Chain A
Amino acid sequence: MSKRIGSPEELRELQVKLAPRTALRLSPAEREALGIPAAEKMNILVCGGPACKSTDSDHIITQLRVELQKAGLAEEVKVVPAGCMGYCAQGPVLKVQPDNTFYVQVKATDAAEIVQKHILNHQYVERLMFHHPASGAPCRQEEDIPFFQGQVRIALRNCGVVDPAYIEDYISLKGYQGLVKAMEIGPDATVAMIKQAGLRGRGGAGFPTGTKWEFTQSYTATPKYVVCNADEGDPGAFMDRCIMEGDPHSVLEAMAIAGHSIGAAEGVIYVRAEYPLAVQSLQTAIKQAEEFGLLGENILGTGFNFSIRLNLGAGAFVCGEETALLSSIEGNRGEPRVRPPYPAEKGLWGQPTVLNNVETYANVPAIMLRGAAWFSSYGTAGSKGTKVFALAGKINNIGLIEVPMGTTLDHIINHIGGGIQNNRAFKAVQTGGPSGGCMPTALLQTEVDYESLTQAGSMMGSGGMIVLDEDDCMVNIAKYFLEFTVDESCGRCTPCRIGTKRLYEMLERITTGKGTNKDIVDLQELGDIIRDCSLCGLGQTAPNPVISTLRYFKDEYIAHVEEHRCPALACTELLTFTVVADKCIGCTVCARNCPADAISGVVRAAHTIDPDKCVKCGICLDKCPTKAIIRY
């Protein structure tokens, strides 16, 4: 039997019919927002984000199903392998709906108790709830947990709710009705709506999406193309991966909306080959959308044709730059070219092309459904809506969060993020990956949006947010990013190819105690040259990690150069290891474990370390039973 949906009316009828599928998974507020009636049975939603999957959430799903079968509830209670719920630090996590109960650090062996106690006897399993770090009180609902407070999920709205393997789930939540709306109001009104919503590119530079669509619409050359940048390359950012794995249809629907608006019939998703699950999820989604007549020829009987194919990336960070990405889709080395002409005029195969990233697209169907005014009610004057951040590093609540633009760094780090691990002191937060910068404590009240981050010497980038503590050396962090850039520079233009290498060498000298004050001056000067002279965004922003740390942490650079000292004790070559004679009991453990034979002394007498032989490996420090060895 054909699954094809013949008209927009049939899609709406199917949605009403399918609504009970997912009504159970929504909170009352979410149901009300979508106009979906309440339902009676229960659903257990299990997080399938990268961290939960790596800690065996699949096994929990199997075990829950076994227990439900035993209890004779296999028909009554559905276990849903859903997408990322965000709270990676407490994974594996799951949610029982419609009870709105959130369980953390669940193991497969907990399945029996969840079924027996919660499902059969309607008692909450308190021991699996998150316990508030301050009061110790159990927090049953997400709303009670600090990590979720102040979050608004628009791009991630369906992640953790739908089963990405079933298009029916997406349709039941009014999926593809944004496309229907776009077809009803027509291309001009659609573009106007996206412009009015104030949606800006979530991949880095923040160019207004509606304006990009309008430019592409204005060129008459055909065919035109819609391209999705899913080559998430920033180290420490994984939001696009979670959207593709957890809610692939929102990307497909948005691309179809873009195609209808600009007059394109073909879409390409350029996705990292290193994300096999995302590739699989997109492939399944495309196939199902074609079967349902939501992609392909004559979509919903309206005569609109739009197909989407996948193109695998092959591991090149520079392909995040739009012209490099297009060159890669054409089968070439992913080298950028000079703009203009912009892709809106001459993109894929020299034709007008709209190119947005995954998170940008994921916002589009929500805007179409709920309106531009609703979307722009979130955010700041220049940056509307929300932004997804991958919160990681030395922070308690590592995870994927979505907050309205304008949320302060302080709220994100100290409230949602739960502060710094192991009670260490906050030193800096790094945003924007290798193109971004580090912001110190003094900037914690910064309201996060495109402008404020740029002004602070960092940038939004794709949303990686790495928190650093007092043990992190800022020169070493800058060196890490420069090493990345040197590796990933495509080599086409000299300032980037050679300039970043020279920057890296200077940082290498400084972190090994061979740097001079002239190096510090040169870093700044060369950084400015690379920024001003590079061909593409990769080179232009490559000096940011150096320039921003020089701006806020110059004293650390000076300590390395003038005192040959690393204040964070992170640069091993600058460390000195020594034995505190009073504490040494002469057990000889250090001497026996030293790989360089640098420690001498007799039994039951204080030992000494020969600094010329010491290779600063730190083994003696770890092995000493009386903590008699110190480093400084």
Chain B
Amino acid sequence: MSQSASCLTEKYGEIDKYIDNLPSLRGALVTVLHQAQTIYGYLPEELQLHIARRLNVPAAQVYGVVSFYSFFTMEPKGQCAISLCMGTACFVLGAGGVLQEFEKELGIKAGETTPDNLFSLDALRCVGACSLAPVVLVGDKVYGKATTSQVRGIIEEHMQRMAKGGGSNE
């Protein structure tokens, strides 16, 4: 923590404002972390320490909560977030194979981000679109009845989209 207090105030001004406007700090930790992740994309150590000080709770408690819930991430996500549903319906219809193919093509495991920060890969719990199983989500786009042979095409489609500068989570 080499940065000075004033520098942090500037960096985390937005979450500070959110905390200042909360009617009560009682039980606010999870809500604040949700907001912080929405603003900054992920929850690095420095931000966790900052939130701990602002809410006047031990840093261990903040880290305990962040590491407990799968929704919170301490690593930045790629520009293009690929998520696979691993609900039971998707599993019995071959989602495991599709995930393996994505892992092979991207060279990363589920939960990781490619070194160039373009793609991150995640296995989700059920998304509730079981009639489309196996389901792949890329940003808001849904690919239903996905097969291993579609994997390369999906990646290429979003590579091109990002190359055009449109981002992929439209």
A330-B144 contact in complex given A51-B130, A237-B126, A392-B88, C-beta closer than 8 Å: no
Q: Are A331 and B27 in contact (CB under 8 A)?
A: yes
How many of chain B's residues have a CB under 8 angstroms from any CB in A?
36
B130 touches A334 (CB 8 A): no
Query: B131 contacts which of A232, A399, A464, A468 (Cβ < 8 Å)?
Result: A399
Residues 8-22 of B at the A interface (beta carbon under 8 Å):
none
Partner of A238, one of B69, B71, B92, B126: B126
C-alpha gap A233/B128 in the complex (Å): 10
Q: Tell me if A331 and B89 are in contact (CB < 8 A).
A: no
Closest to B27 in A: A331
Question: Given that A274-B125, A331-B31, A332-B29 are known contacts, is A315 also in contact with B70, CB under 8 Å in the complex?
Answer: yes
Interchain CA distance A329-B34 in the complex, whole Å: 13
Report if A433 contacts B (CB, 8 A): yes
Interface residues on A, range: 35 or more
**Given known contacts A88-B131, A273-B71, is B87 in contact with A394 (CB within 8 Å)?**
no
Shortest Cβ distance from A318 into B: residue = B68
Q: Does B39 contact A (CB under 8 A)?
A: no
Contact partners of B31 in chain A: CB under 8 A: 311-312, 331
Given contacts A273-B34, A314-B34, A315-B71, whether A91 and B131 have CB atoms under 8 Å apart is yes
Q: Are B131 and A331 in contact (CB under 8 A)?
A: no
Q: How far is the CA of A328 from the CA of B68 in the complex (A)?
A: 11
Q: Which residues 444-487 of A have a CB within 8 angstroms of B?
A: 464, 466, 468, 472, 477, 480-481
Contact digits for B55-79, partner A, Cβ 8 Å, 1 yes 0 no: 0000001001100111110000000
Partner of A50, one of B69, B92, B129: B129
In the bound assembly, the distance between CA atoms of A316 and B127 in angstroms comes to 14
Determine if A334 and B69 form an interchain contact, defined as CB atoms under 8 angstroms apart: yes
Which residues of B sit under 8 angstroms from A393, Cβ to Cβ?
A: 88-89, 92-93, 130
Interface bits B39-67 vs A (CB < 8 Å: 1, else 0): 00000000000000000000001001100
Mark A331-343 against chain B: 1 for CB-CB distance below 8 A, else 0. Answer: 1111000000000
Closest to A397 in B: B131
Taking the closest CB of chain B, its distance from the CB of A92, in whole angstroms, is 11
| Interface contact B125-A330, CB-CB below 8 Å | no
User: Once the chains are docked, how many angstroms separate the CA of A328 from the CA of B91?
Assistant: 29
A466 touches B92 (CB 8 A): yes
The A/B interface has a contact count, at CB < 8 Å, of 125
State how many angstroms separate the Cβ of A358 from the closest Cβ of chain B: 13
User: Inside 8 A of B142's CB, which chain A residues have their CB?
Assistant: 54
**B-contact 0/1 string along A287-316, CB 8 Å cutoff:** 000000000000000000000000111111
Question: What's the Cα separation between A333 and B72 when bound, in Å?
Answer: 12
Indicate whether A217 reaches chain B with its CB closer than 8 angstroms.
no
A241 interfacial by beta-carbon distance below 8 Å: yes
Given A51-B132, A314-B71, the answer on whether A464 and B144 have CB atoms closer than 8 Å is no
CA distance A390 to B34 in the complex (A): 29
Indicate if A235 sits at the interface (CB-CB under 8 A): yes
Q: How many whole Å from B113's CB to the nearest CB in chain A?
A: 18
Residues of chain B within 8 A (CB-CB) of A332 are 29-30, 61, 65
Whether the pair A50, B127 counts as a contact (CB closer than 8 A) is yes
Our pick among A89, A274, A315, A477 for the contact of B127 (Cβ within 8 Å) is: A274
Nearest neighbor of B28 in chain A, beta-carbon distance: A331
Contact with A along B101-134 (1 / 0, CB 8 A): 0000000000000000000000011111111110
Contact for A330 among B27, B87, B88, CB less than 8 A: B27
A234 within 8 A of B: yes
Q: Residue among A50, A233, A392, A477 with the most chain B CB within 10 A?
A: A392
Which of A236, A242, A329 contacts B126 (CB under 8 A)?
A236
**Contact partners of B92 in chain A: CB under 8 A:** 393-394, 466, 468, 472, 477
Residues of B close to A329: CB separation below 8 A: 27
Q: Is A55 an interface residue (CB 8 A)?
A: yes
CB pair B69–A51 under 8 Å, yes or no, is no
Could you mark each residue 571-591 of chain A with 1 if its beta carbon is under 8 Å from any beta carbon of chain B, else 0? 000000000000000000000
- Complex formed: what's the CA distance from A329 to B131 in Å? 32
A252 contacts partner chain B, Cβ-Cβ < 8 Å? no
A435 to chain B, nearest CB (A): 12
Task: Establish whether residues A333 and B28, one from each chain, have CB atoms under 8 Å apart when the complex forms.
Answer: no
Cα A54 to Cα B127 in complex, Å, equals 11
Q: Evaluate contact between A392 and B130: CB separation under 8 angstroms.
A: yes
Is B151 an interface position by the 8 A CB rule? no
B86 at the interface (CB under 8 A from A): yes
| Residue A172 lies at the interface, judged by CB distance under 8 Å to chain B | no
Taking the closest CB of chain B, its distance from the CB of A471, in whole angstroms, is 9
Given the complex, which residues of A lie within 8 Å of B128, measured CB to CB? 50, 232, 237-238, 241-242, 275, 390
A236 engages B130 (CB within 8 Å): yes
Closest to A466 in B: B88
Return the contact of A55 from the options B34, B88, B132 (Cβ within 8 A): B132
In contact, A236 and B87 (Cβ under 8 angstroms): yes
Q: Does A540 contact B (CB under 8 A)?
A: no
A358 to B29 alpha-carbon distance, docked (Å): 25
How many angstroms between the C-alpha atoms of A325 and B89 in the bound complex? 26
Give a binary string over A12-24; 1 marks a CB under 8 Å from any B CB, 0 the rest: 0000000000000
A430 within 8 A of partner (CB):
yes
Q: Can you identify 6 A-B contacts, CB atoms within 8 angstroms?
A: A235-B87, A236-B87, A314-B70, A333-B65, A392-B130, A472-B92
Which residues from chain A sit less than 8 Å from chain B, CB to CB?
50-51, 54-55, 88-89, 91, 232-238, 241-242, 273-275, 311-317, 328-334, 349, 390, 392-394, 398-399, 430, 433, 464, 466, 468, 472, 477, 480-481, 490
* 3 A-B pairs with the lowest CB-CB distances in the bound complex, closest first: A238-B128, A88-B131, A314-B69
